[in-house]
Amino acid sequence: MYKYLILLCLIATPALGQIGHEIEKIEVRGNEKTRVEIIHQVLPIKVGDNLREGDIDRCRIVLERLLLFRTAFVNVKPGAEKGKAILVVYVQEKRFGDLGVSLEYSELDGFGASTNAHYANLRGEGKLVGVEYGLGERFKYWGFHYSDPLFLKTNQAFHIQVTGSSADRDIFRNPDPDIRGRYDLERIGFAMGFGQPSPLRAYHFVLKYAFEAIQIGDFQHPPIPTGGGIFANEIKAAVGRETLSTLSFNLFKQPVSAIWGQGTDFNARLTLSSKLLGSVANYIKLRTELYRHQQVTAGHILSLGVKTGGVWGNPPFYERFYLDGDNQLRGIERRVIGPEGGTLFVAAEALYAIDLKTLGRVYAFAESGGVHRSVNGNDRRDADFAFGVGMLLFNRVDISFGISTGTLIVKSHRFAGVKIGL
């Protein structure tokens, strides 16, 4: 009964009248195993700070992203003196963690199913241990991860991840599967990262080291000449086992608001690979992404974005940029543009979305993308443009139709599923 009274008070107490007041105290309630200092440490507002507009939402989102709580409520109440305020945090803890099962679909891998589970809040310090497994038509993966969001009692996170995957890939696109050519790409490795896990600051920085064993096999050469055969010959020459060792620097910014909410997305990742680290090749890879989401009117969001990338040195063919996966355009099928990939790529889009509440969002889009690669002194360039309409159904399934191409794309990997907080 006491917990419900606290919850009612938090919801009923308005925060608007406290904007600009100094935080004199932070009260944490509802936690039974989570240490109070853990919650204090992750909150983006501290004792002595002045309460700003949006701080309440930022605090709540930080707590939700820790994956430790079923619910988190944050509000303020008047302090002991005029101009002072008390920040009140109420949480409902998960006893175990999360268990998820989902049916997935993507243009690249077809249908599949996946499951994942994690145990939350080891020793009451917010540590997470999790496993995942997925099996699809053309792809399977497994993984184990450990995360400490407050490594050595600092505002830095430490992550360890061990993963394995196996993918069946076409060399070229063709309606006849016997003409495409194919190969298998297997990757097993581990990665460890150190950085800022939650929006304690506007921008967050993560340093990551990864080591992978790469296996390329089951190579089948296309029976007809395609693109001069250079791409197929590259894959044939790489058949066997090799190692990839990289050091990456990731700088990113995400908006506080929900998916497609108002704000700015920014992500830049610089990856270094060196034979001195035991890698198969020396190269430098940079990928950047910038999106601006602006509310035009209530429930209407205009998003403008650009993605760019470049690789310099001698990268293996699977480290080039392809217009599929995270880089796939909304109205154009995967690898229609530059099927051999490129060492340079750029993609841009404009999207106007209308909120349909629980049903999701509908949108109209325009996009363009292209790749560039130099082969034996000759430049290979490919680019295309499309516009169309789409729908983010239940905020899970992203379905779009390119009017200029007549192509239906299902971008989302999660077609349906359930996630249970235990």
Per DSSP, 51 falls in state: P
Yes or no: say if 374 and 380 are a contact pair by the CB < 8 Å rule.
Answer: yes
pLDDT at 130 over 90: yes
Q: Is 103 helix (H, G, I), strand (E, B) or coil?
A: strand
Average pLDDT over residues 282-286: 98
- Where does the pLDDT of residue 421 fall: very low under 50, low under 70, confident under 90, or very high at 90 and above? low
What's the pTM value of the predicted model, to 2 decimals? 0.80
Per-residue pLDDT tens for 345-404? 999 999 999 988 888 899 999 999 999 999 888 889 999 999 999 998 877 788 899 999
Q: Could you tell me which residue, 258 or 188, shows the higher pLDDT?
A: 188
Identical fold for domains 2-93 and 97-421, yes or no, is no
Q: Could you tell me which residue, 7 or 168, shows the higher pLDDT?
A: 168
pLDDT at 44 over 70: yes
Q: Which two tokens stand for residue 307?
A: 């993605």
Ranking 81-85, 162-166, 234-238, 363-367 by mean pLDDT, the lowest is 81-85
**Nearest C-alpha neighbor of 77 from the set 66, 69, 67, 88:** 88
Yes or no: say if 260 and 276 are a contact pair by the CB < 8 Å rule.
Answer: no
Q: What is the pLDDT of residue 3?
A: 52
**Nearest C-alpha neighbor of 166 from the set 182, 186, 136:** 186
Average pLDDT over residues 155-174: 89
Residues with Cβ within 8 Å of 229's Cβ and at least 6 positions away in sequence, in order, are 222
- Where does the pLDDT of residue 410 fall: very low under 50, low under 70, confident under 90, or very high at 90 and above? confident
Yes or no: say if 159 and 146 are a contact pair by the CB < 8 Å rule.
Answer: yes
pLDDT at 251 over 60: yes
Domain boundaries of the chain, sorted by first residue: 2-93, 97-421
Q: What is the pLDDT of residue 360?
A: 86
CATH H superfamily, domain 2-93: membrane protein fhac (3.10.20.310)
Q: Which two tokens stand for residue 339?
A: 């099927």
Please report, to the nearest 10 degrees, the dihedral formed by the alpha carbons of residues 34, 43, 394, 107 taken in order: -90
Average pLDDT over residues 37-42: 81
pLDDT at 80 over 60: yes
pLDDT at 306 over 70: yes
Annotate 180-193 with b (16+ C-beta within 10 A) or e (fewer).
bbbbebbbebebeb
* Upper half-sphere CA count for residue 180 (Cβ side, 13 Å): 14
Domain 97-421, CATH number (from 3.30.2350.10, 1.10.10.1590, 1.10.1370.10, 2.40.160.50) = 2.40.160.50
pLDDT at 246 over 80: yes
